[in-house]
Amino acid sequence: MPAFGQPTKRFPLEQLTGSIVALVTPMHDDGSVDYPALRRLIDWHIDEGTDCLGVVGTTGESPTVDVEEHCEIIRVAVEQARGRVPVMAGCGANSTKEAIELAKYARGVGANSQLQVVPYYNKPTQEGQYQHFKAIAEAVGDLPVVLYNVPGRTVADMAHDTVLRLAQVPGIIGIKEATGNIERAQWLIRELPPEFAVYSGDDPTAVALMLCGGKGNISVTANVAPRKMHELCVAALAGDVATAMRIQFELMPLHRHLFVEPNPIPVKWALARLGRCGGALRLPLTTLSEGVQPMVETALRDAGLLSA
């Protein structure tokens, strides 16, 4: 792990609400990380009202950045945010030891929370998942832990009762629920302690989850529509159904077509189309297929993000 400097501003946990962008990692055409573009994206998001920056998750191409890059992306994000908004650092790994080391680094450079995904590929049991997250919290629980359940990617699914057990572990403060199953989310919200936050990790159903008591949306769509997603979250968290659904209907084509190919392929193409950063990805991801590019472009136009 690279060396780190002094921690920066901490945010109270209640500020980890609203629109949390699952931020892309801009890259040059040669595949190297484009740190100046990352800094520009962060400033734009803050100007547009994004409530928290989620970095180096799946959308940030965490599977293909190396450890040095992973750490540097977190460090640059914290530095560029300059305490204006919190930073949620993706620190997940299918090795408990590696996840702890990433979290220690994130804590050292001043991140405000850590996102820890269910270990992927090695398919841990429910007890293995419990022990994995418990070990992380015991080692680095002073950097609040947000669990991340996305069985469509990890194969392993975190069961309801496992989440309830983990909610009792000091330092674990929330979960990114990315199954898109609203009944499942409702049961979590009903049975978890009131101070334990449930965040959506599924843009199409995020408004429903927030209206049921969720605390925010860790969003892919926010990459291209940060202002609208912030306003949607403000309305949903306030129980303003009419406003929330008006914005939701504007964003629904984006929610759908930003997943027409595996994330982050479409969202990177969309950001390039908007002139926000380059569209380069690292293999094994490839550029958005020409046949579906018009779908994404139409969604951008329908959301008012491109001129007709």
What is the secondary structure of 127-176 as a DSSP string?
HHHHHHHHHHHHHHTTS-EEEEE-HHHHS----HHHHHHHTTSTTEEEEE
Q: What is the pLDDT of residues 77-112, one digit of tens each?
A: 999 999 999 999 999 999 999 999 999 999 999 999
**Radius of gyration of the chain, Cα coordinates, nearest whole angstrom:** 18
**What is the chain's mean pLDDT, rounded?**
95
pLDDT of residue 117: 98
Q: What is the pLDDT of residues 107-133, one digit of tens each?
A: 999 999 999 999 999 999 999 999 999
Residue 203 banded pLDDT, cuts 50, 70, 90: very high
Q: Is the pLDDT of residue 3 over 60?
A: no
- One DSSP character per residue, 6-56 reads -------GGGS-EEEEE----B-TTS-B-HHHHHHHHHHHHHHT--EEEES
pLDDT of residue 7: 43
Q: Among the options 105, 120, 130, 148, which is catalytic?
A: 148
Residue 148 designated active-site: yes
Are 60 and 37 in contact by the 8 Å Cβ rule? The answer is: no
The answer to whether residues 53 and 82 touch, using CB atoms and an 8 Å cutoff, is no
Q: What is the pLDDT of residue 307?
A: 81
Q: Please identify which of the residues 35, 120, 176, 228 carries the catalytic annotation.
A: 176
Angle between helices 203-211 and 182-191 (to 10 degrees): 40
pLDDT digits (tens, 9 = 90+) for 5-25: 444 455 655 668 999 999 999
Statement: the pTM of the whole predicted model exceeds 0.85: yes
Spatial distance between the Cα atoms of 292 and 51, rounded to a whole number of angstroms: 31
User: Residue 175 forms beta bridges with which residues?
Assistant: 147, 198
From CA 305, how far away is CA 258, in angstroms rounded? Answer: 14
